[in-house]
Amino acid sequence: MGQTGRWLAAVRRARVWILAAAILVAIIVASGSRWDFLLGILIFVLALLISVMLHEFGHFITAKKFGMRVTQFFVGFGTTLWSVFRGETEYGVKALPFGGFVKITGMTSMEEVDVADEPRSFRNQPGWQRIIVLAAGSFMHFVLALFLLFALALGVGMAENSNQISAVTSCVPDNVTAVNSATPCAGGGLGTSPAVKAGLRASDRIISLAGKPVTSFNQLHSVLKSQQPGVPVPIVIVRNGHELHLTVTLAKVPKDSVSYLGMEPVTIYQRDSFGGSIAFAGSQFADTITSSVSAIGRLPAAIPDLFAKDRAKTPAGDVSSVVGVGDVTGDVVAASLPWQAKVTLVMYLVASLNIFVGLFNLLPLLPLDGGHLAVVIFERIRAWFARLRGRPDPGLVDIQKLVPVSLLVFAVLVGLGTLLIAADIFNPVHIQV
C-alpha cells in the first residue's frame, strides 16, 4: 500500500476513533446522574453499535453475494480479542466495541492486490454490483428504521387520548396557550372549571355529553366544539362501574374555538393491524426523510448559534451530535412516563438517527459511501460516452487525485462533529418529557 493508501486508511480509522470518543464522552457526562439516566445512555450506545454493525453487514453480505473477496469482518476496533477463519474470511471481536468494519479486497484503484485475487477484487466487478455494495450500508440503516417503526405500531401501539379523565383542571385558563400547558392555572385563571363545578373526578369515563354518545377523546372534542359556552348540558359518566347523570355548564377561554370543560384525558396505546403497521412505518419513514433532509440543509445556519444562550430557540436547537441524542435518550428513560411512552420515544429516536445517518452517508462526498458511489457512477457514465464514440473504456478513476478533496471533506466533518459534541456537552438542549 502506498503513502496515499495509508492516508485513506488513516482517515477511515480516525472516523471510528472519533465516534468512539463521542460515545465515551456521552457516558462520562452521564456518569454523575441517576442510574435510569445512565441506562438510557447505554441503551443508545447499544442501539448505535447495532446500527453500525448492520451498516457493515450490508457491505459484507452483498460483496459475498457477488463473489468479491472479503478478508475480514470484525466487531469493534483495536486489539483482536478473538477471531476465527471461515473460508477466506476472518471473523472476530476487537477490544473497543464502538462499531465494526469489513475489508473487501481492491476497494480503490490505489490498493495493491495480488494478481491471483484481482479477478475477485471490488474494483474489477461490474459497476451495478459495486453500486449495490456501496449503497447496502445506508440501505441497512433504512431497513432498521422501517422495522422499528413497524414494530412500534404493531407491538407497542400508538398513543391516543381516551374519553377517560386523567386529571381535573381546577380553573378556566385565561388564555389559549395556557390550555395545553403543564400549569394552566399559573395566571390565576377565570374562575372554577366546569369539571370541578359538575363534580367530575379522575378515573371517570365520559360516555355522553349534550345527549351525544362519546366513545373517544376525538368524539368528545367534536361535541365540545359544537356546544355554546354558558349553557347547561347533560353529561353522563361511568364511575366505579355505575352510570351517573350530571349537568355541566361549559366555559369560554378567550380566542379559543372550543368550549372548555377542564379535564385531562387518559392516554392509551392502541396497537395497529399488520397492514396498518406497514402503512404507518412507510408514512413515518417518508416524513422523517423530509425532516432529515431539512436538518442537513439547516446545518450550516445552525453553527453560529451552537453556543448561544437561547440555543433551543434557534436553528441550532434542531441539530445534535451522538452525545446530544444519547443525552435525550437518557432524559426519556429517566422521565416519569408510562413504559409505552418511553419505548415509543426511544424507538423514534433510534429510527430517526438511522434515517439521518443513512441519508448523510449517501452525500456525494469522499470519504463517505456516497462519494465512492459518485465515483463509480461517473466511471460508468464516462465509459458509456466512450462507447458512443467508439473508444475503449477509460477504466477506473484515479482516486489518488481525489485524496486532497477527501482529506478536506474529512477535516470539515471532523471539525463540525467536534463543534456539535462540544455544544452538546457545554450548551445542551434540554427537552421536556
Per-residue pLDDT tens for 51-60? Answer: 989 999 999 9
Percent of the chain with pLDDT over 70: 90
- The answer to whether residues 261 and 224 touch, using CB atoms and an 8 Å cutoff, is yes
Cross-strand bridge partners of residue 86: 89
Cell of 173: 385558563
CA distance 217 to 264: 10
Active site members: 56
For 329-346, the pLDDT digits (tens) are: 888 887 778 888 899 999
CB atoms within 10 A of CB 82: 9
Least confident segment among 181-190, 234-243, 266-275, 341-350: 181-190
- Tens of pLDDT, residue by residue over 341-363, are 899 999 998 999 899 889 989 98
pLDDT in tens, 274-304: 999 999 999 999 999 998 888 777 778 788 8
pLDDT band at 13 (very low <50, low <70, confident <90, very high): low
Which amino acid, 240? Answer: N
pLDDT digits (tens, 9 = 90+) for 388-413: 999 998 888 888 888 888 888 888 88
pLDDT of residue 431: 65
Strand partners, 205: 164, 238
pLDDT score of 334: 79
If DSSP codes are grouped into helix, strand and coil, which group holds residue 147? helix
Does the pLDDT value for residue 5 go beyond 60?
Answer: no
Where do we find the cell 378556566?
172
Would you state the pLDDT for residue 320? 80
Q: What is the pLDDT of residues 132-182, one digit of tens each?
A: 999 999 999 999 999 999 999 999 998 889 999 999 999 999 898 888 888
- Tens digits of per-residue pLDDT, 188-236? 888 999 999 999 999 999 999 999 999 999 999 999 999 999 999 999 9
pLDDT score of 318 = 75
Please, what is the average pLDDT of the chain? 86
Cβ neighbourhood burial of 195 (10 Å; 0-12, 13-18, 19+): buried
Here the cell at position 356 is 439521518
Per-residue model confidence (pLDDT) at position 286: 94
Which segments of 175-261 are extended strands (E)? Answer: 205-209, 212-213, 232-239, 242-249
Task: Give the helix/strand (H/E) hosting 385.
Answer: helix 369-388
Q: Grid coordinates 453499535 are at which residue? A: 49
Q: Is the peptide bond before 367 cis (omega within 30 degrees of 0)?
A: yes
Confidence band, pLDDT 50/70/90 cuts, at residue 96: confident
Count CB neighbours of 392 within 10 A: 8
Q: Residue 94: what pLDDT?
A: 86
Euclidean distance between CA atoms 150 and 310, whole angstroms: 36
Tell me the C-alpha distance between 429 and 325, whole Å: 10
pLDDT of residue 4: 54
- H/E element holding 221? helix 217-226
pLDDT of residue 30: 47
Residue 422: band (very low, low, confident or very high) from pLDDT cuts 50, 70, 90:
confident
Q: Is the pLDDT of residue 376 over 60?
A: yes
Closest CA to 17 of 74, 75, 78: 78
- pLDDT above 60 (res 29): no
Per-residue pLDDT at 26 exceeds 80? no
For 314-353, b/e burial (b = at least 16 CB within 10 A) is: bbbbebbbbbbbbbbbbbbbbbeeeebbbbbbbbbbbbbb
Query: For residue 31, what pLDDT is reported?
Result: 46
- Domains of the chain (ranges; CATH) run 3-156+310-426 (no CATH), 159-270 (2.30.42.10)
